[in-house]
Copies of this chain bind each other. A is one copy, B any other.
Amino acid sequence: MVECRASSGPADPRFFARVGPFDAAALAEAAGADLRPPRQGSFPQEGYAGIAPLQAARARDVSFLDNRRYAHLLEHTEAGLVIVAPAFAEKVPPHSAALVTATPYLAWSRIARLFHPQSRSKAGIHPSAVVDPSAVVDPTAEVGPFVVIGAAVEVGPGCIVGSHAVVADGVRLGADCRIGAMVTLSHALVGDRVTILPGARIGQDGFGFAVGPEGFETVPQLGRVIIEHDVEIGANSTIDRGSVNDTVIGAGSRLDNLVQIGHNAQLGRCCIVVSQAGISGSTVLEDYVTVAAQAGLIGHIRIGAKARIGAQCGVMSDVERGADVIGSPAMPFREFFRNVAVLRKLAKKASGSAKDDSGKV
């Protein structure tokens, strides 16, 4: 049996390189947090060596508490340094130093990155890759085995193009993009620092056909996909290119795995689309919209800025700026849960009176 329940803790050296150690001051600076020394004892002489969850951390580890749900673990942690929000600062054990910050998860993220920096591109093109002579691949870019790069493609500095990825004719990748293994990219202009996880499909034909006399006729899909800076796209997600206009993923947006984006859809800045959600063609998301898992949006509607679409929500019409909706069809959160409660009550009553009527269950 694979040993699984006895976790080795995070950052198994089999998979993750580690740098350091770092002293408390360096960590406080990276985290942008206030450093409080341990109430008993002192900082470890040789600095902190790594990160670990509260229940596994030891004296030279950094840990963190972000989710209130796990607050009970704080009291007994052996971590030498704990990142916490001000409300929990007093609950850090006496032997632990604390990094106090209003944004513990962000601080944790930065410290974890300090110990485990992302690998950089290893400049060069694998000899098995098929690169069109008209493509321009920056000499600092890394191109993996079995990659196909088409005519007139541009690959910017610092890019990593994973094995088997296909970057079709004319596609432009900005700087420092990470294209996962087996990604397909066509008809797309991609900004800087864009990450695409394995198996995502970007730029293929949208779902367009007209009814002809002898069956469906495919409508040419003549738009593009525009992916702005700092976007991340999950594994096996699909983003169709536009039919007439472009499909646009706004800067800083984050798409999870198995997400579907239809042709001509436009996402604003910093939108979040969680796994298995789908956005139909020509629908517009303004900035900072969140679409939770498995939600579905019909085509040709507009979702106002900062709106939040709940999990499994079915959205059939425009959503106002800042609104929180859920249900299928979508309605305000409050209304949805009120409906659920009322129906439950009515059903109980109905089943109660049915019982009364019959004189038995």
* Residues of chain A having any CB pair with chain B under 8 Å: 1-5, 7, 10-12, 14-16, 51-53, 67, 69, 103, 105-106, 108-110, 112-113, 116, 118, 126, 128, 130, 144-146, 148, 152, 162-164, 166, 169-170, 174, 180-182, 184, 186-187, 189-191, 195, 197-199, 201, 204-205, 207-212, 215-220, 222-224, 226-230, 232, 234-236, 238, 240, 242-246, 248, 250-252, 254, 256-258, 260, 262, 269-270, 274-276, 278, 280, 293-294, 296, 298, 300, 311-312, 314, 316, 328-329, 331, 335, 338-340, 342-347, 350-351
Contacts and interface: CB of A to CB of B under 8 A. Distances in A.
Contacts of A293: 260, 278, 280, 296
Which of A201, A245, A251 has the most chain B CB atoms closer than 10 A to its own CB? A201
B204 A235 contact: yes
Contact of A146 (B4, B146, B236): B146
Given A197-B204, A199-B199, A260 B257 contact: yes
| 8 shortest interchain CB distances as A-B pairs | A4-B226, A106-B210, A201-B235, A10-B222, A215-B252, A238-B257, A109-B219, A14-B170
B278 A278 contact: no
Given A170-B15, A245-B53, A270-B216, A164 B146 contact: yes
Contact of A246 (B4, B204, B211, B245): B4
Given A207-B274, A238-B258, 8 more contacts: A1-B191, A10-B242, A14-B152, A51-B244, A146-B164, A148-B164, A207-B254, A311-B314
